[in-house]
Amino acid sequence: MLIETARLTFNCAIDGPDDAPPVVFSNSLGASLAMWQPQVDALAREFRVVRYDQRGHGGSGLPAGPYAFSALVDDAIALLDALELERVHFVGLSMGGMTALGLALAHPGRLRTIAAANCVARMAPAVHAVWDERARIAREQGMGPLVAPSLERWFTAGTRESRATELAWAGEMLAATPVAGYAAACGALKTMDYLDALPRITVPTLFIAGTHDAGAPPEAMRDMHARVPGARLVELDAAHVSNLEQPAAFSAALEGFLREHPR
């Protein structure tokens, strides 16, 4: 469904009982709300599961870029307002996880908890050129050349080999990402920096890391975990998109955490 907000139109999907605690899921770069289907299957009986496509992704609006993380955070608040959700559990992976961190810092009163998976809190200057190059490839050649190298980062070699047919749709999802949205979001990732502010987070926080994640190394996530008072860390046998590579373990860790923080 399309939701009109004060900022732009978002593509959303809502599953589960209307009166259940709301859990909002935010996608990673190059993905869409479809990436969260395993978690819908696991959680929708007990929670109101709200998924949305970040700006420039899936079926959501495509404002001109480059984007800033403050815009992604404000987008999420605009969506909560439009859906009349006062306080939510917020779950994100990679770019979505960074959005969760930004929300916890800027709008803690709108959150019950956050779960930030496979993300970092600061992009080192040495990595900026990587995002510039990926944006350039997308603009000049389309998304096609980015699919194979992205899937190599998203999943371990064993998973790519043994579950190729099952996960083929992930490459199709990436290929369908609007070029302009992907390139603009690369600008947000390049400039994001929440690291020094992490100790100010007061919202109950779950970090989910992947042991084989090169984009958000487990060492970096352990450091983030140490900086957020009272945070919890779960490490899965996965690469970057751990919710798809280890869907049962991811959903179990998330569900257990959510149940500890009821209404």
Over residues 136-163, mean pLDDT: 97
Over residues 205-230, mean pLDDT: 97
* pLDDT on residue 89: 98
**∠ CA 189-212-232, rounded to 5°:** 75
Q: Give the pLDDT band (50/70/90) at residue 127.
A: confident
Domain holding 246, by residue range, is 2-259
Mean pLDDT, the chain, as a whole number?
96
Distance CA 193, CA 240 (A): 19
Over residues 131-144, mean pLDDT: 96
Over residues 53-67, mean pLDDT: 95
Q: Give the pLDDT band (50/70/90) at residue 263.
A: low
Q: Is the pTM of this model over 0.95?
A: yes
pLDDT at 262 exceeding the cut of 80: no
Q: 195-206 burial string, b = 16+ CB within 10 Å, else e?
A: beebeebebbbb
Q: How many domains does the chain have?
A: 1
Distance CA 85, CA 77 (A): 9
Q: Give the pLDDT band (50/70/90) at residue 208.
A: very high
CATH number of the domain residue 68 falls in: 3.40.50.1820
pLDDT at 11 exceeding the cut of 90: yes
